[in-house]
């Protein structure tokens, strides 16, 4: 009878799916739903995964299995692996100081870590707790120009040189199952309150002894009574600049002296606009299937976007990465690197920094094994000829 490991020994965890299973058992339902759910009927959430299954891998024979070269040049920086940890918010619901655990694990592997505007750890605290971190900062455009200016100054002051502007969340997606965890705004249903009590390990690793996590980056701008995860949701809802447009992005390009990427791009025409504005890169992303349900999967969008971007700006992708072979497929279709979201969040929910490290190691080991089995000795040798279409199984 097949079943995943049900103990605590991370060395016996052999896939991201197994880490996800462990995370689901450790988290109360409302926290798991926030982590793993998507918008509405979750069509795009599932398409992100199915798109990778739609490609097979060509294998070449008689190639010696030396250790392949997994390094990748991304915006002038050589990474040991073609991946980095992308921005995710409210991670303190999964584990105390989750952002710090994620940053430390990434730093130990020589990979960048992207801190969200909606993080539970401030820029300043993260840099102090994770020395040497290659910090990227994700920005939500704010209505209040002073708040946005201050966030950018703080990011620059702690040494951040890469800014990632998210453009696909100006209006919050309809995450129905997430909303059903609450009887009213900011108030868990009684069923979910009882479920929380049934998870003492989560209570200890997340809420004890300080209660609900604060909101790090946003705390200076929140009323004292609203300095918590739920209060910050209302703040972001009011502060999100729903009028964000290309002129706003052009002004940001003028004022931010570091590298600037636009995250949430799914159409080739938007890549053309990003190139014209002198952006350093774009992230092909549908926000993990949490925003517009029915939007293209990230991988399907990439097929049309890659030719527009080649040689003009850096191209990254997130959404649906669960295997090292997924990374191979994304690189073969034209990305420079992938941003990890849920894969590393499962790890931090299970065991903090060691859990994130296990997730990164699993993906790294699978990446190397896939390249060996394909007869591929360097990531730069991957292209569309490395893939072939497989028939997708209908839902």
Q: Which residues are catalytic?
A: 287
d(CA 275, CA 73): 19
Nearest-10 crossing angle of helices 16-26, 342-351:
50
The β-bridge partners of 316 are 283, 337
> Sign of the C-alpha dihedral, residues 379, 383, 385, 387?
positive
Rg (CA), the chain: 20
Q: Under a CB-based contact definition with an 8 Å cutoff, are residues 66 and 337 in contact?
A: no
| Cis ω before 209 (30° cut-off from 0) | yes
d(CA 132, CA 117): 20
> Measured between alpha carbons, how far is residue 215 from residues 17, 89, 93, 100, 138 in Å?
29, 10, 11, 14, 15
Instruction: Please report, for the chain, how many H helices and E strands are present, in that order.
Output: 16, 14
Q: Under a CB-based contact definition with an 8 Å cutoff, are residues 173 and 37 in contact?
A: no
Q: Is 242 exposed, middle or buried (0-12, 13-18, 19+ CB in 10 A)?
A: exposed
Calculate ∠ Cα 184-92-171, nearest 5°. 50
DSSP secondary structure code for residue 121 in this structure: S
DSSP secondary structure code for residue 203 in this structure: I
- The DSSP code sequence of 240-292 is B-TT--HHHHHHHHHH--SEEEEEEE-SHHHHHHHHHTT-SEEEE--GGGTSS
d(CA 105, CA 358): 9
């Amino acid at each position: 009878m097949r079943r995943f490991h049900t103990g605590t020994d991370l060395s016996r965890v052999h896939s991201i799916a197994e880490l996800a299973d462990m995370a689901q058992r450790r988290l109360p339902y409302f926290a798991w739903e926030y982590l793993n759910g998507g918008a509405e009927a979750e069509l795009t959430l599932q398409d992100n995964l199915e798109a990778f299954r739609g490609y097979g891998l060509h294998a070449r024979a008689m190639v010696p299995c030396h250790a392949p070269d997994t390094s990748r040049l991304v915006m002038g920086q050589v990474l040991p692996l073609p991946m980095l940890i992308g921005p995710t918010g409210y991670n303190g619901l999964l584990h105390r100081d989750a952002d710090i655990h994620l940053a430390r694990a990434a730093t130990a592997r020589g990979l960048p870590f992207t801190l969200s505007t909606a993080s539970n750890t401030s820029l300043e605290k993260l840099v102090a707790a994770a020395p040497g971190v290659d910090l990227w900062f994700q920005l939500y455009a704010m209505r209040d120009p002073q708040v946005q200016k201050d966030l950018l100054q703080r990011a620059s002051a702690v040494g951040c040189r890469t800014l990632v502007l998210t453009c696909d969340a100006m209006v919050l997606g309809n995450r129905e199952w997430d909303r059903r965890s609450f009887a009213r705004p900011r108030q868990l249903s009684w069923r979910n309150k009882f479920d929380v009590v049934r998870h003492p390990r989560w209570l200890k690793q997340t809420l004890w002894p300080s209660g609900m996590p604060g909101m790090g980056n946003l705390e200076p701008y929140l009323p004292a009574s609203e300095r918590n995860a739920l209060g910050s949701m209302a703040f972001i809802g009011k502060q999100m600049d729903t009028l964000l447009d290309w002129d706003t992005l052009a002004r940001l390009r003028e004022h931010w002296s570091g590298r600037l990427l636009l995250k949430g791009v799914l159409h080739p025409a938007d890549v053309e606009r990003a190139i014209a504005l002198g952006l350093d890169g774009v992230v092909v992303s549908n926000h993990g299937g949490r925003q517009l349900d029915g939007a293209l999967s990230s991988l399907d969008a990439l097929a049309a976007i890659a030719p527009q971007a080649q040689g003009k700006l850096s191209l990254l992708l997130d959404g649906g990465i669960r295997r090292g072979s997924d990374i191979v497929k994304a690189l073969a279709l034209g990305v420079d690197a992938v941003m990890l979201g849920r894969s590393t969040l499962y790890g931090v929910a299970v065991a903090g920094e060691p859990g994130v490290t296990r997730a990164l190691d699993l993906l790294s080991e699978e990446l190397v094994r896939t390249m060996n089995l394909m007869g591929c000795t360097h990531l730069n040798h991957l292209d569309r000829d490395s893939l072939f279409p497989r028939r997708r199984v209908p839902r």
